[in-house]
Amino acid sequence: MTAIVLLCQDPALGDWLAGLFARHAPHLQVLRAHEPQARQAQVAVCWFPPAGSLAELPNLRLIHSIGAGVDHLAQYPSRDPQVPVCRVVDPDHIHGMSEYVHWGVLHFHRGFDQVLAGRVDQRWQRPVQRQARDYRVGVMGLGAIGAPVAQRLATAGYAVRGWARAPRHIDGVQSFAGSEGRAAFLDGLDLLVNLLPLTAATHGLLDRQVFACLAPGAALINAGRGQHVNEADLQAALAAGQLRGALLDVFEREPLPADAALWHTPGVWVTPHMASAASDACIASQVAANVGRLEAGLALNNRVDPELGY
């Protein structure tokens, strides 16, 4: 039987994963990193694995992320690049992300951020109400997740723009593509939503140049990856008032350390990578299916293209 080992830095996540597989895939031999047999595992199921842990598995034949993203593995260059990497793709992920982004847009559009901030000094201040059609929202990334998110916002009445590597057509969304279309996409946006995958081209993309293109007092929602944001530029844009606020769900280090400045930065709202997640059953079934396919010598599902990074 192919053994799988759970590799993650958060002990609570490891406990959750062990229980998940016990409930939904009890036929799998699941090991924790501290168990003596773990070194012989052929499959590593990961979320931010401890540094060097992948290189300690001489029989490794498959690395499986428990989420749609695999960028958390990129910081471990010592892992064998010939070992295939797969990810979990939950069709219901779209609904969770759409709900989160729609809530975030309402948070800033309707001024709930200002109302909640007013609790500190008991300030009674009614925000100016703007019609959704007058509120310009831009969605970066129009793939399997971003396109439905942009569509939902357009259906809700917002003035929606979308930006991607290549041209896309989405009803109700004004689309822009490539580096040549980015400035026009960003120009005067009231709120920018980032749903891009993390690649070499998108690392640090959300910087002072991007923030300067937005409307004064604009807001940012980042549900892509923490590495998309230049944090120093974000802090500067918030301090200068170019950005009024930022809703951040993803971070370069997760969990976000207790001493991280973002916890205490005025205008920043932190959520614990909860925008959307695959269900327990989906994670277990997709990992189990790929373990079976590995044993049978079949093509793996949701295998990551090393060139694209997803």
Please state, in angstroms and rounded to a whole number, the distance separating the CA atoms of residues 97 and 197.
14
Q: For Cα atoms 283, 284, 289, give the angle at the middle one, nearest 5 degrees.
A: 100
Q: Give SS3 for 71.
A: helix
Residue 79 to residues 47, 57, 295: CA-CA distances in angstroms? Answer: 15, 9, 21
Please state, in angstroms and rounded to a whole number, the distance separating the CA atoms of residues 104 and 152.
13
Q: With CA atoms as reference, report the closest residue to 58 among 3, 1, 9, 21.
A: 3
Length of the chain as a residue count = 310
Segment (H or E) for 29: strand 29-32
Contacts of 9 (CB under 8 A, 6+ apart): 48, 49, 50
Place of tokens 């140049």: 209
Q: Does 225 qualify as catalytic in the annotation?
A: yes
Q: Which two tokens stand for residue 120?
A: 């500190």
Q: Which two tokens stand for residue 139?
A: 């969605």
Please state, in angstroms and rounded to a whole number, the distance separating the CA atoms of residues 218 and 249.
18
Q: Does 273 qualify as catalytic in the annotation?
A: yes
φ, ψ dihedrals at 194, nearest 5°: -105, 120
Q: What would the DSSP string read from start to end of 133-197?
A: GGSEEEEE--STTHHHHHHHHHHTT-EEEEEESS---BTTEEEEEHHHHHHHHHTT-SEEEE-PP
**Active-site residue, selected from the candidate residues 72, 79, 161, 225:** 225
Would you please indicate which residues are annotated as catalytic (active-site) residues? 225, 273
